[in-house]
Amino acid sequence: MDGDMTARLLYLGLLIVAVGGYVFVEFRGRMGQALRQAAAWGLIIVGLMAGYGLWTDMRSTLVPRQSVVDANTIEIPRAPDGHYYVTLQIGDRDMTFMADTGATNIVIGRDTAESLGIDPDALVYLGTAQTANGIVRTARVTLEDVSLGPIQDARLNAYVTDGDMEGGLLGMDYLGRFRIEIAGDRMILTR
């Protein structure tokens, strides 16, 4: 156990002693009432945790996700923010990308690269890209075993940006492999 962990345990112990001392002094002679209130708060916390768990389970039905229409067609609903978000499976990980027909390449941020096993600090940032936040440096990488539903690509070129970026950007390098149709609030990709 390192010094940081010891300090945290000491702090937690002091906090428990302080709160426990307050409860003991405040409810002296009324410990039954203190236990009832502690149980009530415990149930409230458990109820909030259960509600959060149910929300994460139900969210996928309330906010529609992409669906496979047939072996060559994927249908992507428009998100409430007006964009289309595509979930690609890269290796064994699901990654969310914003489909951007105005972008050229597949671009991922440093955090996404790390989650895919790519060390962003070991990359050589030779390229640049113009973004809404200004110019950022980019490094070329290869993504392996990329799947969009039943549609698979063994290798795709992508770029890692050294700027802040949540998720990824799916440009025409990838989208151009499909026939793209936008019908109502759906983007339909067919290969």
Residue in 183, 139, 190, 130 with CA at minimum distance from that of residue 161: 139
Are 71 and 50 in a shared domain?
A: no
Count of structural domains within the chain:
2
pLDDT band with cut points at 50, 70 and 90 for residue 61: low
Given a cut of 70, is residue 63 above it in pLDDT? Answer: no
Distance CA 191, CA 188 (A): 10
Q: What tens digit of pLDDT does each residue of 71-87 get?
A: 889 999 998 888 999 99
Domain final residue pick, 62, 94, 113: 62
Span 162-170, average pLDDT: 83
Are 110 and 80 in a shared domain?
A: yes
Beta carbons of 168 and 96 less than 8 angstroms apart:
yes
Are 77 and 166 in a shared domain?
A: yes
Residue in 156, 137, 136, 138 with CA at minimum distance from that of residue 146: 156
Are 106 and 13 in a shared domain?
A: no
Given a cut of 90, is residue 90 above it in pLDDT? Answer: yes
Are 9 and 96 in a shared domain?
A: no
pLDDT band with cut points at 50, 70 and 90 for residue 64: low
Given a cut of 90, is residue 175 above it in pLDDT? Answer: yes
pLDDT at 57: 66
Distance CA 39, CA 134 (A): 53
Given a cut of 90, is residue 176 above it in pLDDT? Answer: yes
Domain final residue pick, 62, 85, 104: 62
Are 71 and 55 in a shared domain?
A: no
Span 21-25, average pLDDT: 82
pLDDT at 146: 93
Are 44 and 105 in a shared domain?
A: no
Are 26 and 115 in a shared domain?
A: no
pLDDT at 65: 75
Are 100 and 186 in a shared domain?
A: yes
pLDDT at 4: 83
Beta carbons of 108 and 168 less than 8 angstroms apart:
yes
pLDDT at 171: 92
Beta carbons of 164 and 113 less than 8 angstroms apart:
no
Given a cut of 70, is residue 62 above it in pLDDT? Answer: no
The residue range of the domain holding 32 is 3-62
* DSSP-derived secondary structure letter, 32: H
Are 9 and 99 in a shared domain?
A: no
CATH assignment at residue 114: 2.40.70.10
Taking the CA atoms of 35, 41, 44 and 48 in sequence, report the sign of the dihedral they define.
Answer: negative
Q: What tens digit of pLDDT does each residue of 103-118 get?
A: 889 999 898 899 899 9
pLDDT at 179: 94
> Does the model's pTM come out above 0.85?
no
The helix (H) or strand (E) run that includes residue 189 is strand 186-190
Are 108 and 126 in a shared domain?
A: yes
Are 83 and 174 in a shared domain?
A: yes
